[in-house]
């Protein structure tokens, strides 16, 4: 074989590779982070994944409605110049994930999101059939109005 390394060489002298811990929460939060990379928002990228019985049912990211121009193309008044006083025409990641999942897929499911939801999204979550929200640990001092609202609505909230 003229010095080429044979792919099927004897591996009996090699130690098995250490396996990374298999953590479902980390896996699904990472998928939400990946969904966030699709966002065209010029202000922030946010992602969401709806999971039921360890199966992804829907994903979402923040951005403008279908058929409307993208934020990074100047279609959003706020995104065009970064002026927070201007209206935002984008939908939040949670709303998009909920919209693209059938009601039966949402019933009793878990929503993984890249940051705490706003109060408007918390209302959608509470009425969607979702029973749990999993969020990365927020920075100290970040308001938790939506968390308290969700807990009042019997939706479990976990920080990982």
Catalytic positions, written as ranges:
94
d(CA 35, CA 37): 5
Say if CB 125 and CB 151 are below 8 A apart.
no
Are the CB atoms for 62 and 93 separated by under 8 Å?
yes
**Tally of CB atoms within 10 A around 86:** 13
Other Cβ atoms closer than 10 A to 73: 13
Rounded distance between C-alpha atoms, residue 78 and residue 160, angstroms: 31
Residues 97 and 60: beta-carbon distance below 8 Å: yes
- Pick from 124, 128, 123, 133: nearest CA to 155: 133
């Amino acid at each position: 074989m003229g010095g080429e390394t044979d792919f099927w060489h004897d591996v009996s002298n090699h130690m098995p590779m250490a396996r990374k811990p298999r953590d479902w929460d980390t896996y699904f939060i990472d998928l939400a982070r990946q969904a966030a990379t699709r966002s065209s928002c010029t202000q922030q990228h946010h992602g969401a994944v709806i999971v039921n019985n360890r199966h992804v049912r829907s994903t979402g990211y923040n951005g403008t409605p279908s058929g409307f121009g993208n934020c990074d193309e100047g279609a959003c008044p706020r995104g065009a110049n970064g002026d927070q006083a201007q209206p935002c025409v984008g939908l939040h990641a949670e709303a998009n994930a909920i919209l693209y999942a059938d009601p039966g897929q949402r019933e009793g499911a878990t929503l993984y999101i890249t940051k705490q939801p706003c109060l408007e999204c918390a209302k959608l979550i509470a009425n969607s059939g979702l029973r749990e929200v999993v969020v990365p640990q927020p920075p100290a001092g970040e308001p938790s109005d939506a968390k308290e609202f969700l807990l009042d609505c019997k939706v479990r909230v976990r920080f990982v």
